Amino acid sequence: MLSSIKHHNIVTLIGFCVEGFEMLLVIKKITNGHLDNYFGNINEMCILTWELRLKICIDVARALIYLHSQMDDKRFIIHNNIHSTAIRLDENWEAKIADFEGR
């Protein structure tokens, strides 16, 4: 199902690997890491202006709206684990939701 998700605020799934009990999702590399990298470090937090923080919030909201109500064929995914490490930032500081592993 994840391979069919095509939204600019959701990470791109490249593939997956299953070996025994180990499962791994392979996603497109995100150059600016995850949002959590910028918390607690004053030098890194300066990068996140209020304008950029608002843009990140809007990007995440758009991705959640898509997952919860706008997917094709009336399917939907509930991402029940949104936190700062599940939000990745690309080279243009566009937020992308990741971490779709089951719990």
Tell me, yes or no, whether 92 lies in a domain: yes
| Distance from C-alpha of 11 to C-alpha of 98, rounded to nearest angstrom | 6
State the pLDDT confidence band at 95, using cuts at 50, 70 and 90: very high
Indicate the number of domains in the chain. 1
pLDDT of residue 71: 74
CATH number at 78 reads 1.10.510.10
Tell me, yes or no, whether 58 lies in a domain: yes
pLDDT digits (tens, 9 = 90+) for 55-90: 999 999 999 988 888 777 667 777 777 889 999 999
Residue numbers of the domain that contains 87: 2-97
Tell me, yes or no, whether 102 lies in a domain: no
pLDDT digits (tens, 9 = 90+) for 24-64: 888 888 899 999 988 877 777 778 889 999 999 999 999 99
**pLDDT for 102 beyond 60:** no
- Exposure b/e, 55-69, CB count within 10 A at least 16 = b: bbeebbebbbebbee
